[in-house]
Structure 1
């Protein structure tokens, strides 16, 4: 069998028999092994002894090499492994092997064969290219293949020796890569694919062929990918009769006037629709009618029309802080849903409360398999809220839920006939040609959309076709000004004005700032805002949805904080909690701005946030180290290969502590007697007590600990060194 295929096996048999004082000769012959021996009693050799040695004292094992040979690194590691075996002192005594095109055959003592087989299997597992599923949405895969092909080709080239294949398999949500480089590839791919999706309907007056024409080319200029779906929609049109006389003309005019009180505008969203109606909420023919409990006039009117049964049901539940559900009474619906809502002075809080009101109504309808629901326009009456804000917030909330749930729900917003201005604002929100882009759309996407859809392509006017478009936003910007509290963001409106002027290479632009002051922002080498005699510094930072707002433009990965800044004071307070009286001077506190490291950490942080949204998964911990180690960490992160430099008592990983005084013992001073200590963001939710043998945490845990203040992590992306304190 396998024994005959290993020429060196006869050396093992000879050596072993000689050591056993068995005088024999071994020789391969065709497809067999011949053993010559003396039967005489003088030498004491029995045939059973030879059979026992050949069949039981040694073991052979086949290691298949059926993996892809496209990985030159795997071939290199395989050859290195074979060389080490040949260099063993006991080669041809206790172990030997032969290498064929599709397998390696090991022969020797069983314990050595098992050990080498396991070691080679580990090499295969680490370096053999395998097919992996990658966690990406279909829209993200489309974006990568359309917009990031060159980046992916470069990545394949960088890992060519590892046998990496991305492009040929990505359409199926798969990649080919060895286990040891899978994480290195998945992280940058995930970063490239981190996009925002905007879906909206638009009436367009030109033919669009997917992937061609100026809309797609222009969108590509702004790092956007357009995906189009063309829908048709039936619109009823009243055809008037010919005017015979003045009386018939007046009759038609009065009919048209009467019908305007119940006019409706409709927008298709995903599988459902949003309707803007002018009429009476109590006359709606839908499954669910929503009423705001705090709108006393509306509530009283609805209950009055619905009848005594609804009034009794409402009174019975009125003490509850939760939503109240009643029967329909005499209304043309199945249920009446009474929800709580109060206006907020702060715009952010107002948006949250309005969204919650709409989301709660839609959630009730979908949970009970209803297909239609009508809302009132809350806040637009006695509450005195901004009509354009309320309309945009309610429409946005409805859109988001319909896209998210992919339900066939019909959502209606019913406006009183006397509130024409409210009706017009709501209609603008579902008509992109009349409305501006608000929250959630960065200024360069706004500009791209306006450029793309304001052109008529040079063709003649024709009947418009509703066009559903999704745009994937990759990058945006943050404009901010320097204040006593650090860098503060401009409003969305100001940000859009600043970015537009910046992109069109204007020297300056006038804006209204947060204090309602007219000021001028200059875009020369020293970007600044001038308002009378006051001058404030201005900065523009690319926002890829990951970089912290506090980061500044700098060519260095280390940015010194100003002593009087709130950021500096906050870090110093954390340090002093356990270090007061144990140092004499703070030399400097630096913010670490390693973009590659931060993005890697942010991907891991977002994954924790997705899996454990209600848990405290991110901690601020200390890490002391010598000065030269600090430089390495800033360049290479808390690399696990450094483990063991100080201790491995609780595992072979990167060590952190909640106490700066403990980490101080590892912050060895340099020649100038200066110490270094990091304050790091560290991710974990379930640590377990560690020991010196652990190289990874046990299954079900993501860190090890001493049970008190020391924590050990094992993934490079699990921590980010946010600040470095240098002190004496």
Structure 2
């Protein structure tokens, strides 16, 4: 069962979360399996920590106009890594090191050839100047060329007047490359608006004005004229700004007041329109359809007080498609807040959330309706789902007017979006023939599209509950166990109270690439010193500087490590599948052992003798690791195994369950017997081999280990010593006395239990 823990934010921790909230959520999930939601904190826009990826897929044309020269200028929401155009523009730095943001995404999608070509250009020609652009091969990208352009980087928004000529120069340089290479289509992002801190509205204006001047101001001398300039970005905020700039600068005659636009709509247009609004990380879409047909992660139902699904049009439709099992489930499931969760059965979603609202005439009915929608959204986020579909709750038997229902439901979504960092698609699905409800929701969505716009009626208050105060700054953690929440809380406390120095011990630092080290060097631009150490088998990065900047830098390093570890696990999984001739993935599971079983009692008694109390016992089941372990037995001709223990950091328990044992997961305090994978014969000995500092919880892995033929180990061994006089035959393991064994192949050990203890 999931656990929850709230952490108040004060002082510098608020500023750290403002800068790093979304990345912090990803790190907590990767390290501890915890999800984080944030209240009372507004995030700074467009943070790129380490290797951030775009989740948007599918091109969407938002605007287009043809200039007098014949060049079409269009605005698109699309992923630049997937566009089949003559050239895609990369927002590059002067050294052409593609280590963050869009540059990293293009380089990763296009493969290593993009970085190799860039490095070759720098070696031959030196760094690019701000405003310059070069053209090169696209690697594996679907476009024909890639244009690397260097826009201005602002350290202070007040410098924008001096930076604007350099952004103009960068756009002109791009268009020069288009002309010289006779390209017909080129996709240009909002250069400098992301990592380079150029204010977005001014960036959009400058790009559009420069394109207009290039193709109209010197039209008669231009030479080659392309067919289309595509202004492409993947986030709605940037797309909206580019569309605004194009309408104002290129086609003011096409701008139509909202009232006139509404008046011109026909019934057929209303039937097919799907208004969409982006609010922070939430994409809100209004659509017509049948709620029971939606393939979202969650479908929301509004249930009657007696929980009979045969009452109400929506409930009946869901019951008919899901089958009678859903009626039994809703009757036998306890509510969580205002929501009852059931399986989906034959519905196309993963779960159904049944809300329990009250009639409009009842006291506090508006607040119950608002809270029901809010609970559905937060439960969706806590389950790491990505999409949820609502009907027009309240407009049927609950007797709310269409306008009231739309106002309350949209406000709940808006409040959720302002306080959650998780990306989510929220759909309001209106029955196809209900034009009045669709129009009511469409009208209420208009105020969401204006950054500071008023409510639809001046007399209406924005908040349906005016006594509700803005929540105080805090992080709400949800996790699979109390122990995981404790580890996440402890790690956050260390981060927020750094006092200007943070040490990060993690042997995956040894797997950092050249690009990762370039990223590390860039951390020092904000007054942070970075030192790397490797002593006694332990890799460490030490950060020193202003406490806030050190904390932000530490999060960047942690994000890099999470990315490296994810790639490591993927590579190991691929090798396991190749060796085992298994399927397409490695299935594994950690099954909780009930405390009342004899299995738990036997383990608890053994650990009690070492002064430890087992708080949680998980049994590891991984058929692929079992198969490889058996193959190793046959290869070594060793069928006797030893029950041994390894102590691991909390963040690596899941990795051990997934891909087995590796030296990076748990380096001993002193690798005195070689650079391999260490095991101890008892939990007591394991606490000596892996010493901790005032830890509340200790994590042990019990394993079957194939020690085979063994000899005493010594410092610096990377393989066991030769067996006899044959140099190609080696011992199976080395030892450190009778109670320590060191193996050099992770497949010689099979994880059986993850044991969480307290002293």
Measured against the shorter chain, the TM-score band is under 0.3
Provide TM-score, normalisation by structure 2: 0.27
- If asked which structure has higher relative contact order (CA below 8 Å, sep 6+), I would say 2
Provide TM-score, normalisation by structure 1: 0.27
